[in-house]
Amino acid sequence: MAKSKSPKRRGLAPAEIYHLWMVSGGICTFKGCKERLVANNTGKLTNAGIIAHIIGHSNNGPRREFAEEYGYSEEDLENITNLMLMCYPHSKLIDDTHTKDSYPPDVLFEMKKEHEAWVRSWTDEKRKSLAIVHKRLGPPLTTLPLTEHSSNIMVEAVESQSEFRDFSKEGWEKGKEDNSKLYQKFVAKINKGKYDVAEVYAISPIPLLIHLGSLLSDTVPLTVYQYDRENEYWVNKTPTTIELEELIPNFSFVDNKSKELVVTISISGIVTEEDVHVILGKDKDQFNIVIENPHIKRLLYSEQVQEIQKIFKDKVEALHLQKRYDLIHLLYTGPAGLAIELGRSINKNMWPEVAVYEYKYRESPSYHYALTI
Ligand SMILES: [Zn+2]
């Protein structure tokens, strides 16, 4: 194998990796690719972020024959001027036997120059972010595609990405423990003071997200992203090109003189009267938030999230002040980002315990008790 003939590679110092990460904005350098790369919780890059050589380092590596022409000696090839941060598919593309000829050094040096100039040109202040990646449904995430650049450069991430399968009482308790561990890791990193902001990326069972939200305090400004399934990227603010359909939230209260309050929030589907009565009976107080025409793509952007979150927080707090509930039951159907924000609204110094229910499509009853916050 050619490997034995290859010169020894000098390992990059953490400062060099960090520098490369920052000048690339943590985004794949390949022209036209806006793939945001994920750094894992050891601070090293996962295989999502590949450090690719423009002039190959091994003796018969891609473009190795151009080394002299471009003034690189063997030792210089690990110089960051010769390195590009890329997503895995693009790092393969530029090195693959069948495609590498389309990427001579000039093309790649130009890409690197343009990309780094683009990152420098961001007029807003670049903020260093720590991400929480909470993906407990389906396979783990390795990249976080965003449509437009965010002025945050994700420097590090803490993650909980093992699939959640145990929907038993013990399973949910374990889920809460996992959340607490993740949160502690997050706080330990935040307390080192290296980050300006935090970001959350989540696709997980709703009760776990509401619970995670209840743990997240405002130590640093926090942005919760939501996944746009249709377009396959993460979003936060409404793009200027989109005119949002208004949510038109309606809310109603049924007073049964109970010490327990059922809160239903219908965003991507409807929590029906029957759902509530089957599992909780008919004798509890009930507060309902329902938007006009609920469906799965109805709520996506942070402005919409805030609108519903505010109603939930303000109304439930006002009701609780008046009625002093012993327990609140929460039945929610809606997107992940809003679930986290609902959790963040739960003020543990003021609110009673909140029992959270899991929605199971095609099951009867549709809601099952999951966990208590
Ligand atoms: Zn790429």
- 50 Cα to the center of ligand 1, angstroms: 10
In contact, 8 and 16? CB cutoff 8 Å:
no
How far away, in angstroms, is 45 Cα from ligand 1 center? Answer: 15
Side chain identity at residue 184, one-letter code: Q
CA of 243 to the centre of ligand 1 (A): 30
Higher pLDDT, 35 or 97: 97
How far does the centroid of ligand 1 lie from the alpha carbon of residue 285, in Å?
Answer: 53
* Residue 255 sits in the same domain as residue 192: no
Ligand 1 centre to CA of 238 (Å) is 25
Q: How large a percentage of the chain has pLDDT more than 90?
A: 56
16 in the same domain as 115: yes
Tens digits of per-residue pLDDT, 183-235? 999 999 888 878 888 999 999 999 999 999 999 966 678 889 999 888 888 88
pLDDT of residue 124: 67
The total number of structural domains that make up the chain: 3
Q: What is the pLDDT of residue 200?
A: 93
User: SS3 for 183?
Assistant: helix
Residue 5: inside a domain: no
Q: 240 CA to middle of ligand 1, Å?
A: 25
Q: Which residue has the higher pLDDT, 14 or 201?
A: 201
299 and 213 co-located in one domain: no
Q: Supply the pLDDT for residue 47.
A: 55
Quick check: is 242 in a domain?
A: no
Of 25, 13, 235, 232, give the one whose Cα is nearest residue 129.
25
CA dist 84 and 113 (Å) reads 10
What would the mean pLDDT of 118-123 be, rounded to a whole number? 82
pLDDT score for 244: 82
Residue 1 lies in a domain: no
The rounded Å distance from CA 143 to ligand 1 centre is 10
- Roughly how many angstroms between the first and final C-alpha of the chain, as a whole number? 58
Q: How far apart are CA 355 and CA 370, in angstroms?
A: 8
**Ligand 1 center to residue 90 CA distance, Å?**
5
Q: Residue 369 corresponds to which tokens in the numbers above?
A: 């008790």
State whether 34 and 116 are in the same domain.
yes
Q: How confident is the model at residue 361 (pLDDT cuts 50, 70, 90)?
A: confident
Tell me how far the alpha carbon of residue 79 lies from the centroid of ligand 1, in angstroms: 21
Ligand 1 centroid – CA 256 distance (Å)? 57
Each residue's pLDDT tens digit, 161-175: 899 999 999 999 999
Residue 355 lies in a domain: yes
Contact 289, 314 (CB under 8 A): no
- Whether 148 has a pLDDT exceeding 80, the answer reads no
Rg for the chain, CA atoms, rounded: 25
* CA 54 – ligand 1 centroid, Å: 15
- Whether 91 shows a pLDDT value over 90: the answer reads yes
Residue 71 sits in the same domain as residue 114: yes
Asked whether residue 261 falls in the same domain as residue 368, the answer is yes
In this predicted structure, what is the pLDDT of residue 128?
A: 85
pLDDT at residue 1, rounded to an integer? 37
Domain membership flag for residue 3: no
Supply the pLDDT for residue 219. 63
pLDDT at 4: 43
Measured in angstroms, how far is the CA atom of residue 3 from the centroid of ligand 1? Answer: 26
**Top-ranked range on mean pLDDT: pick from 46-60, 123-137, 204-218, 308-322:** 308-322
Top-confidence residue, 113 or 365 = 113
| Ligand 1 center–CA 95 separation, angstroms | 13
Residues in the chain: 373
344 within domain boundaries: yes
In the reported structure, the alpha carbon of residue 89 is separated from the centroid of ligand 1 by a whole-number distance in angstroms of: 6
35 & 75 share domain: yes
CATH code at position 317: 3.40.50
Lookup: tokens for 15: 């400062």
Q: Are 360 and 368 in contact (CB under 8 A)?
A: yes
Going from the Cα of 277 to the center of ligand 1, the distance in angstroms, rounded, reads: 51
Residue 221 is predicted with a pLDDT of 84
Position 352 pLDDT exceeds 80: yes
- How remote is the CA of residue 251 from the centroid of ligand 1, in Å? 45
What is the spatial distance between Cα 12 and Cα 28, in angstroms, rounded to a whole number? 19
- Whether pTM exceeds 0.85: no
Q: Is the pLDDT reported for residue 337 higher than 90? A: yes
Any domain includes 240 = no
Decide which of 170, 205, 234 is a domain's last residue.
234
- The pLDDT score that the predictor gives to residue 43 is 47
Q: Strand, coil or helix: what is 201? A: strand
Q: How far is the CA of 84 from the centre of ligand 1 (A)?
A: 11
Does 2 reside within a domain? no
Same domain, 220 and 291: no
Span from the CA of 34 to the centroid of ligand 1 (angstroms): 7
| Residue that wins the pLDDT comparison between 345 and 192 | 345
Domain end, chosen from 234, 257, 281, is at 234
Q: Using 50, 70 and 90 to split pLDDT, how confident is the model at 7?
A: low
Of all residues in the chain, the percent with pLDDT exceeding 70 is 93
Containing structural domain, residue 76? 10-121
Residue range 310-327: mean pLDDT, rounded: 96
Residue 35 Cα, ligand 1 centroid: separation in angstroms?
6
Could you tell me the distance, in angstroms and rounded to a whole number, from the CA of residue 145 to the centre of ligand 1?
10
Q: Based on the fold, state whether residues 22 and 137 are members of the same structural domain.
A: no
Q: Show the DSSP H helices in the chain as ranges.
A: 14-23, 88-95, 105-121, 169-191, 206-215, 273-280, 302-323, 336-345
- What pLDDT is attached to residue 18? 82
Q: What is the pLDDT of residue 258?
A: 96
Residues 263 and 349 occupy one common structural domain: yes
- Residue in the structure block whose two tokens are 């090195």: 95
pLDDT of 144 strictly over 90 = no
129 alpha carbon – ligand 1 mean position (Å): 21
Show which of 234, 268, 284 is a domain's final residue: 234
83 CA to centre of ligand 1 in angstroms = 14
- In this structure, are 106 and 135 located in the same domain? no
pLDDT average, residue stretch 304-325:
96
**Ligand 1 centre distance from Cα of residue 220 (Å):** 30
Strand order in the sheet with 367-372: 249-254, 285-291, 260-266, 327-333, 353-359, 367-372
pLDDT of 268 higher than 90:
yes
Cα 114 to middle of ligand 1, angstroms: 14
**114 and 133 assigned to the same domain:** no
* 200 CA → ligand 1 middle, Å: 22
Q: How far is the CA of 111 from the centre of ligand 1 (A)?
A: 12
* pLDDT exceeds 80 at position 145: no
Confidence at 300, pLDDT banded by 50, 70, 90: confident
In whole angstroms, give the CA distance from residue 219 to residue 71: 48
